[in-house]
Homo-oligomer: A and B are copies of this chain.
Amino acid sequence: MQWLGELSQKNDAKIILLIIDGIGDIPNEKGLTPLEAANTPNLDQLAEQSLLGMSTPVRPGITPGSGPAHLGLFGYDPLEWDIGRGVLESLGIDFELGPNDLAARGNFATIDSEGLILDRRAGRIPTEECERITKKLSQIKIDCVKIFVKPVKEYRFVLVLRSPDLVDGLKGTDPQKTGVPSLPVEAIHPEAEKTAILVNEWITQARELLKDEEKANSLNLRGIAKKPDIPQLPSVTKMKLGAIATYPMYRGLASLCGMTVIPTGTTISEEVETLRENWDSYDYFFFHVKKTDSYGEDGDFENKKKVIEKTDKIIPKLFKLNPDVLVVTGDHSTPCPLKSHSWHEVPTMIWSKHNRKDAMTAYTEKTCMKGGLGHIKHQSLLPLMMAHSLKLKKYGA
């Protein structure tokens, strides 16, 4: 990002990055993708004026989680910036991490009388059980450390330890199989040894409190890490960046990168209204549509198609605001036949006042494969958006 920071310059141009989560798909038994089957007159008209292509979130073949996929969209190399699971899980429950916070993803587990793991997910206890048990664990005290134990869902929770003395560099306790005991937290370098002792002390106290639970009679911690010291987009890009997203995880990721999270509602229409109201206050908007991904994960072709059609209807509303650059893409593909995120490239288009045009007249996987933008990396999208809005100075003389 260093060159981007050196070349970036302020101007009045406005950028919208429209992320249709999990938009990419592969043909179903009828040979169609939701994007091909959907009626999308506005996206297709936009395609006529845009440069189309395919974008790879991380590297060819890598199926990304939401974290790495969005880091790519935000201009980072997701292989360079590894966000710990504990941090991601905290972002996912809207827990704001500070610089002194060490976050871990916790899993309740069931162990036998000898301490061997019987079930790494404690029989997927109901979320209400998780809430009751995390409340119980909140009574644990450790000197000079502020402790937060927050329920997530079913057997999952978040542990945050807050103290200026905590150091990154711990290995988790989950042995990733049953029939064996949990591992102790270990430091991977000497500076983290005191922190390892503190976390192990918390685990000992917690297991003592859990021992009479029927199912959740133990726990494991994974991805124990601090918030990474990632370059902040406002200083790199000299833009004011606003994030509009209905799910906490995406708001958290945007906030991690220095974007301002703008409060919004739960529907796409409310997100558009938020955009409209805040149009004058930002140079760049990350606008996130979630449900395409959720329906892809369910394998629900019809509903994924409907969300795409609903998203199509907002395009004229975005243009009423007179943006200078609009990029439409997804964070990754979530093909219905696979019912999961995938490694497939993401259909992408760049519209601006200065883009080249190819001869494509629709926004689909097939047209994007043939588009004039070619095959790019997510990481190139931020510089390309800034270039198309004349926010990058010439490099060299």
A: residues with CB less than 8 A from B are 3, 7, 26-27, 54, 58-68, 78-79, 82-83, 85, 88-89, 223, 335, 337-338, 340-345, 354-359, 365-366, 369-370, 372, 374-376, 380, 382-384, 386-388, 392-397
Residue in chain B with minimal CB distance to A88: B397
Do the beta carbons of A395 and B68 come within 8 Å of each other? yes
Which 10 pairs, one residue from A and one from B, show the smallest C-beta to C-beta distance? A61-B383, A369-B372, A374-B375, A65-B396, A60-B380, A61-B387, A343-B387, A68-B396, A65-B397, A61-B384
Q: Is the CB of B82 within 8 A of A380?
A: no
Q: How far is the CA of A343 from the CA of B365 in the complex (A)?
A: 25
Closest residue of B by beta carbon distance from A353: B337
A345 to B374, CA, bound (A): 11
For A27, what are the chain B residues with a Cβ–Cβ distance below 8 Å? 356-357
A61 & B369 in contact (Cβ 8 Å cutoff): no
CB-defined A-B contacts under 8 Å, sample of 5: A61-B383, A61-B392, A338-B354, A340-B394, A375-B375
Given contacts A54-B374, A67-B397, A396-B68, contact A7 B365 (CB under 8 A): no
Q: State A335–B223 Cα separation when bound (angstroms).
A: 49
Do A3 and B396 form a contact, CB below 8 Å, given A354-B26, A386-B61?
Answer: no
Question: Copies of this chain, how many?
Answer: 2
Is B341 within 8 A of A394, CB to CB? Answer: yes
Residue of A338, A382, A384, A393 ringed by the most chain B CB atoms within 10 A = A384
The chain B residue with its CB closest to the CB of A365 is: B356
Give A273 to B70 CA distance when docked, in angstroms.
47
**Using Cβ atoms and an 8 Å threshold, which residues of chain B touch A356?**
26-27, 344-345, 365, 369
Contact A383 B59 (CB under 8 A): yes
Chain B residues within 8 Å of A7, by CB: 62
Cα distance A392–B59 when bound, in Å? Answer: 12
Contacts A60-B384, A62-B395, A64-B395 known; 17 new A-B pairs at CB < 8 A: A3-B59, A59-B380, A59-B383, A61-B382, A62-B392, A65-B394, A65-B395, A65-B397, A78-B396, A88-B396, A88-B397, A335-B354, A344-B356, A345-B356, A356-B369, A370-B372, A374-B374
Contact of A383 among B62, B89, B395 (CB under 8 A): B62
Residues on B with beta carbons closer than 8 Å to the beta carbon of A82:
396
Q: Find chain B residues with CB under 8 A from A370 CB.
A: 358, 370, 372
Residue among A78, A342, A356 with max Cβ neighbours from chain B (10 Å): A356
